[in-house]
Structure 1
Amino acid sequence: MCTKEQIQLAMDEYGNMVLRLAYTYMKNQHDAEDVFQDVFIKLYEHMDRIQNGEHMKAWLIRVTVNVCKNKLKSFTHRKMDAYEEWIHSPSVDHRDRFEVMSAVTSLPVKYREVVHLFYYEGYQTKEIARLLKKRESTVRSLLARAREMLKNKLKGEYDFA
């Protein structure tokens, strides 16, 4: 049976990861926080299925991606100034990173998700493929295309090799 303490521990350990991943999809803090809530409600409902910490992390990533995709399908998305949102976001530490973060959030979702999982969460392409239920070669191709798009957007200011 799931307890309040178990959920709190999961939020403490994985909450920032869920929020950052949700933000890369939703592109604003408020919608990312809604996703965060939905994900941890689902965890509460399905906690008995979680086998261990690594399984929980993978499960939370998969559920976060699915909740984001479902919300994006159902939202009548309003245009927001993503640049302003990133400036005030707690995940942005320096103004130098502002351009990179803005460029990443401007990528199409299929590229944004692999960039986030690879660079921000530290997953290898094999793990990303498993999490997203894609072939490893597809993940590598998506990463290569995303790097090229970012390189063009940032005009060579940063090295993404």
Structure 2
Amino acid sequence: MKGEQDVNRVVEQYSDMIRRLCMIHLKNYADTEDIFQTVFLKYVLSSVSFENEEHEKAWFIRVTINACKDFLKSFFRSRVISLDDILDQPAEIREDHREVLEAVLSLPQKYRDVVYLHYYEGYTASEIGDILNKKVNTVYTLLTRSKQMLREKLEGDE
């Protein structure tokens, strides 16, 4: 683990370069900040010793690029629709997304949790059961009931 003085030095020295690399790859400020933190956390936790300043700089560049690539191909990234993408869609499609989101958010908490974990995060019923400390059959029941509640809410709006 690195000392505070060393961490402060590398943050001061490489922060602009890392942010620029992230923006080139991710084109998004929030994602850039996430990767920025990830890179410095990897540095703090690493036991790597550098031969010289150029070796250190090359390490930061490689770690940053790899973190950006990993983020871009992550499961989360492939399942998320950005707000900009929704806003670029025709008005009637934007309205459908908004209605579905409002319907999901109006569900009671126990239904909202399973819907979110299943449909937005891609977890299976058994994984949701482990996360929420519920039996798999309970998760299936909650999913079935939440689908019915959503169907009623969304059909009632039409």
TM-score, normalised with respect to structure 2:
0.47
Which has the larger share of helix? 2
Q: Which has the higher contact order (CA 8 A, sep 6+)?
A: 1
